[in-house]
A = this chain, B = another copy of it.
């Protein structure tokens, strides 16, 4: 595999690390500031081990960093520009809903 292929694979891995509902919720919460795992668990629900694994995926991809403080581990976004992208994702959704409005059910 050449360099170009490797680059695309790395980029895909970073994007894939965002591509899960719980991980999006985590990113949005971290956009407000540093949070401990316990905070994030409260936000996304589910098992602590599941949250921990979601964080490991994002940490491995380089999206988040952690900082240990006593018993707790605090996570934060490593590259805040990620948040700006959410607006674009919402634009895709808006375009989709606009299409439905333009061509409602039964419209020729």
Using CB atoms and an 8 Å cutoff, list the residues of chain A in contact with chain B: 5, 8-12, 14-16, 18-25, 61-63, 78-79, 81-82, 84-93, 95-96
CB pair A14 B62 closer than 8 Å: no
Q: How far is the CA of A93 from the CA of B17 in the complex (A)?
A: 13
27 contacts across the A-B interface (CB closer than 8 A):
A8-B24, A9-B21, A11-B21, A11-B89, A11-B93, A12-B19, A12-B21, A12-B24, A15-B19, A15-B89, A16-B16, A16-B19, A16-B20, A19-B19, A61-B92, A62-B92, A62-B93, A62-B95, A62-B96, A78-B92, A78-B95, A79-B88, A79-B91, A84-B84, A84-B85, A85-B85, A85-B88
Copies in the complex: 2
Q: How far is the CA of A22 from the CA of B11 in the complex (A)?
A: 11
